Amino acid sequence: MNNIRPFLNHRPQLAENVWIDDGAVVIGNVVLAAHTSVWAGVVIRADVNSIYIGARSNIQDLSMLHVSRKTADKPMGSPLVIGEDVTVGHQVSLHGCTVGNRVLIGIGCIVLDDAVIEDDVILAAGSLVPPRKTLKSGFMYMGSPAKAVRELSAAEKNSILENAQHYQHLAKQHQQSFQAA
């Protein structure tokens, strides 16, 4: 199986030191910045708009990333943009939204079209961010729909970066293990 696939005139663009598990699929107009990792069972499909994933971000197992097409009413459609040092937990669905830098999106979250998650945010597991909602910087959000529950501590903000660094290290270990086999 070819898990990195072109679509029409677009081929995924991979920076240096990107790791993609063989069980993940990356399709179309996708840009993965340096040191990103894409884990088993992930689907990143940019067939009707673009997806950008910033440096040192990780997309964990069974997550789905997609976009909304451009229309006469919405000429830009809804691309998906993910910043740097972002952790996207297991089984997360991101659809045509914008995620800032240093964000942790917990297991099973859903973030929908034109939602914006600003920098330095934790989105608790199982939360739903409806279309066009903005999550302001510096808070933990949870629920369906997601609501701010409290400000993040300095330790929590630091833990977001530590988690992203852990996944960089883990991706290197997986890549080395695969090459040694």
pLDDT in tens, 95-154: 999 999 999 999 999 999 999 999 999 999 999 999 999 999 999 999 999 999 999 999
Signed CA dihedral, 75, 78, 80, 83: sign only? positive
Distance of alpha carbon 177 from alpha carbon 61, whole angstroms: 18
Confidence of residue 176 (pLDDT cuts 50, 70, 90): confident
4-180 folds as UDP N-Acetylglucosamine Acyltransferase; domain 1 (2.160.10)
Q: Where are the domains of the chain?
A: 4-180
44 Cβ contact list (under 8 Å, min separation 6)? 24, 25, 26, 27, 30, 38, 51, 53, 59, 65
Confidence of residue 175 (pLDDT cuts 50, 70, 90): confident
* Burial group, residue 53, by CB count within 10 angstroms (0-12, 13-18, 19+): buried
| CA-closest candidate to residue 94, choices 108, 106, 110 | 110
What tens digit of pLDDT does each residue of 9-50 get? 999 999 999 999 999 999 999 999 999 999 999 999 999 999
What tens digit of pLDDT does each residue of 58-112 get? 999 999 999 999 999 999 999 999 999 999 999 999 999 999 999 999 999 999 9
Q: How many residues does the chain have?
A: 181
pLDDT in the model for residue 181: 64
* Burial group, residue 161, by CB count within 10 angstroms (0-12, 13-18, 19+): middle
- Token reading at 43: 């689907």
pLDDT in the model for residue 97: 98
Q: Give the mean pLDDT of 171-180.
A: 84
Pairing of strands 43-53, 121-123: unpaired
